Structure 1
């Protein structure tokens, strides 16, 4: 049998088909209608895209004879605006052009939203707004099947999909943009990004992270001399990554560490090559680099490192070089040639242009 309703606070037309219908009537007209085995719905909302749905049962409430609310339960399936949602329940909110999807914790059935390569599941999904935004909350987990996280060249086929988790999710543009809030985590292979909030666009082509940012990558992505298989950790307040340019910009009390080096600064910008490894790294703002193997500290205002030549240039007023024996040399510029094992320190106007200091097994410092 079929029930068709025209006009209403949330839908211009709602068509309900079912095999079984039960109703409760009152003095002012119908109070409640129950649909069973199964229920199919075609819905044209006042605003937004048409919706098609099915479930094992449904309930329609009336207020003074007019439809006031509708809910579907058990094996809910709904499609609209390029999204497909499965859930244990779906409540169509009167006058708000949105649907609340619920899960069944006892049966371990979670509400799940899918579109293209994007999929997310949660305890609760609120979706299909007139603006096409879908929200999820409660132990949100999901995947982007095709994408590359914090890399520039190649594909994700060898590392699997991008996975994510958070407390709250907002999916936009049919999943091409996802905003993760609350204990947000995104990972793929050996790369991991954590923050209070992460915005991921177009399968990882652009990432924005803010608040307690922590990034873990293979150490030789930033340091070609790092032992194979070892990790590097970056801690900061914000991170922006753009795959098209290969630029990772990290700001706010930046701390970098790997098995060979420690570095702190206010801002760090790395340019990735097609091999997904950093070609240049620029640091600024109270730059402090510690060579763990040699026990030396280098401090300045700015630093530029080229991975191909293993050459670091630092400037500042002053730059400081401190060795493992607490011998200190100051100047206005410093050049560290890692391949040759030498460090050159130069002074500015009115100061010696070069000071030579020999440290035995530490190499030569100029």
Structure 2
């Protein structure tokens, strides 16, 4: 072998040995530089639990279930095991549910198992369903069925949101109609600024597309001692994730219990709707439970005051949780009862009550108003009522004036005002009648009229002012002011008094005379009637003037005796003869008028005159007789003009017995 060939062989062998050394050195270097292996927490696979072995591990795995071209639900996981059967086990799972291609809900779970062939998935281990707006439902797990597009919880659930939280036996959902249902007894606590409110319901159903939460099997609300319930209720949201826009409760809807101030409240309606009006304001509409059954609201205060409101419909508004106003519509009845005070109630077509600091302050009613105040009632068109002051004002119209009726009392007027204790004031063309029961059991009716009629209470006298008139049959009394006490049969009047007085003439019947004065007092119980101040009595035969007239009257009011004092002046209508004295008496049955004076002065129209201390006028014959006294036992017989000639005849005779003044 030549030297050249030997050289080539030696070089080749050296290269092979060097390459082997490099390979071995590289291997040793890698082995020596590798860190000591530390056991990592592995994922428990079905192989480890006795199931089928995993064939592949996926990082960041995503699975989407579709209906047609639209996604049904989407599952993403941090790490996923794939098995021979085609099933998957996912960890750190996030599920997204879709509605019409848009994200509807979300779910988070520690572990999820997916079977793509059957389109089924199961989320287990601290599963949380997010409904949006901070509302979440937590359960031990959820089962998803892509074919039926439904899911449900495994066991009971707990849910929570901003200001509320609760539990339910289970939750089911449908992606087909985008609904979620809490079943098996729903219990929730609603937390606000005040005491918490507990909500109880057999079932709650949320329809995302309609943005509605329904309680189809009824709902009960509890807050401290208050209880409210409805056969059916629903909440309408502004959007699927927006604020509440309207609450509707169907009947019967009831509320009862104690308020924070100790008041007892009871409410019954057929349907209640509460809707938002912006800026923390709520509008209330309550409809009746039936065609003949009204909405009823009753509040009894700790002081014993009871207020009731019934109506065909009730509306209202609240602001900041406090009621601002309530309005009853259609056959409204409002009633208020106070201890030891007769109850008051108002009926109207519409009645609005205004509140201040949550307490009723005033009310306005209209349309066919009927007011019952104790034993009296009144009708009109519009009523205004101040609850705190216990006063009211009732107004009528030209076609429908105010009518007032009570115990033996009735009147019509333009307006009526009421005061605490049963007092009232009627004004504007007041006219009415009052009945008085006599001791013998008979009833007599007295009519009255005036610009203003008032009474402090039903038992107090009636006060008439402004062209006041009081009459009974043909007897009339008119004055600026009259006060009539029905029970005592006493009448007082003042200012421009005009009265028709009747005089008992015995067998000749009753004679009427007009009496004017500044004041009048009639006491039927005492059988007296008095006129004071510039008294003027006018009948067809004479005019008599004095300062005071005191009359004795019978049970019918007819004058039997009359005493006139204070500058008596008499003018005979037939002859023009006048007589002046200090006092006089009149006997209607005998038709004799006696006048006393110091002296009594009689004047003829032609200037003839006669003076005496005592003058008697026989009105039937027109004869005047001068009656003598003990120290002056003389009398003059004076005939009317044409009854005698020359001077009157004067005879000295002793005074007649029983006629001494």
TM-score range with shorter-chain normalisation? Answer: 0.7 to 0.9
Q: Which residue of 2 aligns with 1:191?
A: 475
* Contact 2:299/2:308, CA 8 A, preserved across alignment: yes
CA gap 1:82/1:275 in 2 versus in 1, 3 angstroms:
closer
Aligned match of 1:140: 430
The residue that corresponds to 1:283 in the other structure is 564
The aligned length equals 352
Aligned twin of 1:179: 463
2:494 to 201, 210, 221: 210
1:163 and 2:447 aligned: yes
Aligned counterpart, 1:319: 600
**Cα separation, partners in 2 of 1:168 and 1:55, compared to 1, 3 Å:** same
Match of 2:262 in 1: none
Answer with 1 or 2: which has the greater Rg: 2
Partner residue, 1:24:
317
* Whole-angstrom CA distance in 2 between matches of 1:343 and 1:78: 63
* Structure 1: distance between partners of 2:569 and 2:523: 26
Alpha-carbon distance, 1:178 to partner: 0.8
Does structure 2 retain, via aligned residues, the 8 Å contact 1:153–1:274? Answer: no
What is the Cα deviation at residue 341 of structure 1?
5.0
Pick one of 271, 281, 284 that aligns with 2:552.
271
CA distance in 2, matches of 1:38, 1:294: 71
* Unpaired segments ≥5 residues, structure 1: none
What are the within-5 Å matches in structure 2 for residues 1-366 of structure 1?
1-7=295-301, 12-27=305-320, 29-45=322-338, 48-105=341-398, 108-127=399-418, 129-145=419-435, 161-174=445-458, 177-202=461-486, 205-217=489-501, 221-222=502-503, 224=505, 232-273=513-554, 276-338=557-619, 341-346=622-627, 353-355=634-636, 361-362=642-643, 366=650
365 and 304 in structure 1: CA distance in 2 versus 1, 3 angstrom threshold? farther
Q: Deviations over 1:273-311 (max 9, x none)?
A: 356532211111111112222332221111112223333
Shift, 1:155, TM fit: 6.5
Q: Is this contact kept in 1: 2:625–2:638, CA < 8 A?
A: no
CA RMSD in angstroms comes to: 3.3
Residues 285-343 of structure 1: CA deviation (Å, up to 9, x unaligned) = 11111222233222111111222333322211111122233211112112233456532
- SS state of the match for residue 121, structure 1? strand
Structure 1: distance between partners of 2:596 and 2:498: 28
User: Bigger relative contact order, structure 1 or 2, given CA contacts below 8 A and separation 6+?
Assistant: 1
Tell me, yes or no, if the aligned pair for 1:195 and 1:214 is still in contact at 8 Å. Answer: yes
Distance 2:348 2:422 in 1: 23
CA distance in 2, matches of 1:362, 1:93: 75
Alpha-carbon distance in structure 2 between the residues aligned to 1:244 and 1:325: 47
**Runs of 5+ unmatched residues, structure 2:** 1-294, 651-661
Instruction: Give distance in 2, aligned partners of 1:222 and 1:331.
Output: 28
TM-score (norm 1): 0.84
Q: Which range moves more in the overlay, 137-146 or 272-281? A: 272-281
2 CA distance for matches of 1:135 and 1:290? 43
CA contact (8 A) 1:345 1:365 kept: no
Q: 1:340 to 1:232 in 2, by over 3 A?
A: closer
